[in-house]
């Protein structure tokens, strides 16, 4: 029987360097000879990407109710798990995902103030016990991450999505909720200082990854 693949997630606020470092993690794992599926949430399948658009589109005439937002996040997750994540893990591939359920606790829990117990109910219903083997949390003060994001948005002429339009208090609550999650799950989550130079961040990330992979052999 094929051994189940490992499930690794990258987390953190906007602009902390998740996308930049995801590529590095993928390359590192491929170097170890693993089949790797790189994906993201919300999204990762065409249908789930449709739901992502609903979540990110800033429709000013009709604000999205927090519970509707929460259910859409889990609807996208259910589709992504069924179509991409579970099949990959079952055939022995490793899955590296840009954001997962810790983001729901951070954004819908911390940011939108939905009770964690309600998120946990949907988590249990949707995931049926599946959770990441390792979560790399990129942490840094939100103001500095915001400056990176401003440069990126400016450089690409992008506009801000529904979340990127939130206020500083929202992002601070997101950050604190992420840190609280990491403190309560130290065996699964590794906190990485994302404010350092990219080379330093990469080195710390790979060190944490190797450390954890050594315990899986
Ligand atoms: N350690 C770092 N130091 C300086 N700039 C960085 C660092 N990591 C990423 N960046 C830059 O910051 C911006 C946001 O990074 P990105 O990977 O898109 O973040 P995220 O996916 O978390 O929103 C990009 O322009 C990226 O090149
Ligand atoms: C996975 C997930 C994402 N989100 C939000 C956070 C992000 O603002 C947005 C899109 O994620 P993402 O594209 O990863 O953000 P960025 O690259 O700008 O850091 O979705 C939630 O609110 N809940 C969730 O469960």
Q: How far is the CA of 14 from the centre of ligand 2 (A)?
A: 8
Mutate to test the pocket of ligand 1, among 12, 14, 16, 17 (most ligand atoms within 8 A of CB): 17
Q: How far is the CA of 99 from the centre of ligand 1 (A)?
A: 15
Q: How far is the CA of 20 from the centre of ligand 1 (A)?
A: 6
**What is the reported pLDDT for 102?**
98
Do 131 and 189 touch, CB atoms closer than 8 A? no
Q: Residue 5: is it exposed, middle or buried by C-beta count within 10 angstroms (0-12/13-18/19+)? A: buried
- More confident call, 136 vs 165: 136
For residue 99, give the ligand 2 atom closest to its CA.
1
Q: How far is the CA of 53 from the centre of ligand 1 (A)?
A: 22
Full set of structural domains in the chain with CATH: 7-216 (3.40.50.300)
Q: Please tell me the least confidently modeled range out of 3-12, 108-117, 136-145, 151-160.
A: 151-160
Q: How many helices (H) and strands (E) does the chain have?
A: 9, 5
Q: Report the mean per-residue pLDDT for the chain.
A: 95
For residue 98, give the ligand 1 atom closest to its CA.
21
**pLDDT reading at 18 higher than 80:** yes
**What is the reported pLDDT for 1?**
66
Pocket lining: 11 vs ligand 1, CB cutoff 6 Å: no
**What is the reported pLDDT for 160?**
86
**What is the reported pLDDT for 78?**
98
**pLDDT reading at 157 higher than 80:** no
CA separation for the pair 198, 194 (Å, rounded) = 8
How confident is the model over 24-50, as a mean pLDDT?
97
Percent residues over pLDDT 70 in the chain: 98
Do 10 and 138 touch, CB atoms closer than 8 A? yes
CA separation for the pair 15, 150 (Å, rounded) = 9
**pLDDT reading at 154 higher than 80:** no
For residue 155, give the ligand 1 atom closest to its CA.
25
Q: What is this model's ipTM?
A: 0.96
Q: Which ligand is nearest to the CA of 161?
A: 2
CA separation for the pair 10, 92 (Å, rounded) = 20
**What is the reported pLDDT for 150?**
83
**What is the reported pLDDT for 60?**
84
**Binding-site residues from annotation for ATP:** 12-19
Summarised one tens digit per residue, pLDDT across range 179-205 is 999 999 999 999 999 999 999 999 999
Summarised one tens digit per residue, pLDDT across range 69-114 is 999 999 999 999 999 999 999 999 999 999 999 999 999 999 999 9
**What is the reported pLDDT for 158?**
73
Do 131 and 42 touch, CB atoms closer than 8 A? no
CA separation for the pair 140, 61 (Å, rounded) = 34
């Amino acid at each position: 029987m094929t051994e189940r693949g490992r499930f690794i997630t990258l987390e953190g606020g906007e602009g902390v360097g998740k996308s930049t470092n995801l590529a590095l993690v993928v390359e590192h794992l491929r170097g170890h000879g693993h089949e790797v599926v790189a994906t993201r949430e919300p999204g990762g399948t065409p249908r789930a990407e449709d739901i992502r658009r609903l979540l990110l589109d800033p429709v000013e005439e009709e604000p999205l109710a927090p519970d509707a937002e929460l259910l859409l996040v889990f609807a996208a997750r259910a589709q992504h798990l069924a179509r991409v994540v579970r099949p990959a893990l079952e055939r022995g591939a490793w899955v590296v995902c840009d954001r997962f359920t810790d983001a729901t606790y951070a954004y819908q829990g911390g940011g939108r103030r939905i009770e964690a117990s309600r998120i946990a109910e949907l988590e249990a219903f949707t995931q049926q016990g599946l959770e990441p083997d390792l979560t790399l949390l990129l942490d840094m003060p939100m103001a500095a991450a915001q400056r990176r994001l401003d440069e990126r948005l400016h450089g690409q002429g992008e506009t801000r999505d529904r979340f990127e339009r939130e206020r500083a208090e929202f992002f601070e609550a997101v950050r604190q909720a992420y840190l609280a999650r990491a403190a309560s799950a130290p065996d699964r989550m590794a906190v990485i200082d994302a404010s350092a130079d990219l080379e330093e961040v990469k080195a710390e990330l790979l060190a944490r990854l190797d450390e954890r992979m050594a315990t899986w052999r």
